[in-house]
């Protein structure tokens, strides 16, 4: 009888893998034989999964809680499934779907049933992911149509900016020093300079690029 391995995946470091770990233990997988990844299943460049593939041998069994733990891309799930069962000659047990248990499907009929169920579930997982992305895109578009703005809110120009701006335009201050006086970076100060010129209809103003000491006229 071969070795039993478990594979656990959560999509980010903030998610808790406790339920999957508990399911592995209930299935008879020891903690030392459970491989864990905390990242998206959109691709298979995962350290835990790659170590598992190097470890697993013919006759071994891989246990996962659900088919989407292998990943949520339809084509890639099928590719990995076939690689493990056909090239590695190992079995796969999906705890949430008893039909996907290749330990019991060595005959032609069992293998055919498992393949059909696998393709169906992989397709559903991919479709659900695409649907979520579509809903997110539609939600963002609807919010923008209502005037909702996304991203970090722009920092308001402080009241003392005109005074500092005039000192800077007279070359009494560098843009770096002007920014420090206003409590912002040199880059932010120069953005305010550009905005100030556009708002007040100033066609030609003195400006600097970050880290430059020499001022030039910009049109």
The two three-digit tokens of residue 182, written as one number: 């206003």
**C-alpha–C-alpha distance, residues 131 and 138, integer Å:** 10
Among this protein's residues, is 174 annotated catalytic? no
**C-alpha–C-alpha distance, residues 217 and 219, integer Å:** 7
Helix, strand, or coil (residue 90): coil
Q: What is the largest CA-CA distance in the chain?
A: 87
Closest Cα to residue 21, out of 11, 39, 33, 3? 33
Catalytic option among 11, 30, 175, 185: 11
Contact of 69 with 39, CB cutoff 8 Å: no
Q: Helical H runs in 39-73?
A: 47-55
7 strand-pairing partners: 35
Residue carrying structure tokens 């020093």: 177
CB neighbours of residue 3 within 10 Å: 15
CA angle 110, 123, 63 (to 5 degrees): 55
**C-alpha–C-alpha distance, residues 82 and 89, integer Å:** 9
Active site residues: 11
């Amino acid at each position: 009888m071969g070795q039993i391995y478990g594979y656990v995946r959560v999509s980010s470091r903030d998610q808790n893998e406790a339920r999957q770990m508990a399911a592995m233990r209930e299935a008879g997988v020891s903690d030392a034989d459970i491989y864990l990844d905390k990242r998206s299943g959109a691709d298979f460049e995962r350290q835990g999964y790659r170590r598992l593939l190097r470890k697993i041998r013919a006759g071994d069994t891989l246990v996962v809680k659900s088919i989407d733990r292998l990943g949520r891309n339809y084509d890639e799930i099928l590719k990995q499934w076939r690689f493990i069962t056909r090239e590695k000659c190992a079995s796969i047990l999906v705890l949430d779907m008893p039909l996907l248990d290749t330990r019991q499907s060595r005959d032609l009929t069992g293998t055919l049933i498992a393949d059909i169920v696998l393709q169906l579930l992989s397709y559903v997982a991919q479709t659900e992911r695409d649907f979520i992305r579509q809903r997110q895109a539609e939600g963002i578009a609807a919010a923008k149509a209502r005037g909702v703005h996304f991203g970090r809110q722009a920092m308001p120009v402080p009241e003392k900016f005109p005074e500092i701006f005039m000192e800077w335009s007279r070359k009494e201050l560098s843009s770096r020093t002007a920014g420090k006086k206003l409590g912002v970076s040199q880059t932010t100060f120069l953005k305010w300079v550009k905005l100030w010129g556009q708002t007040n209809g100033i066609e030609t103003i003195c400006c600097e690029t970050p880290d430059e000491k020499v001022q030039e006229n910009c049109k």
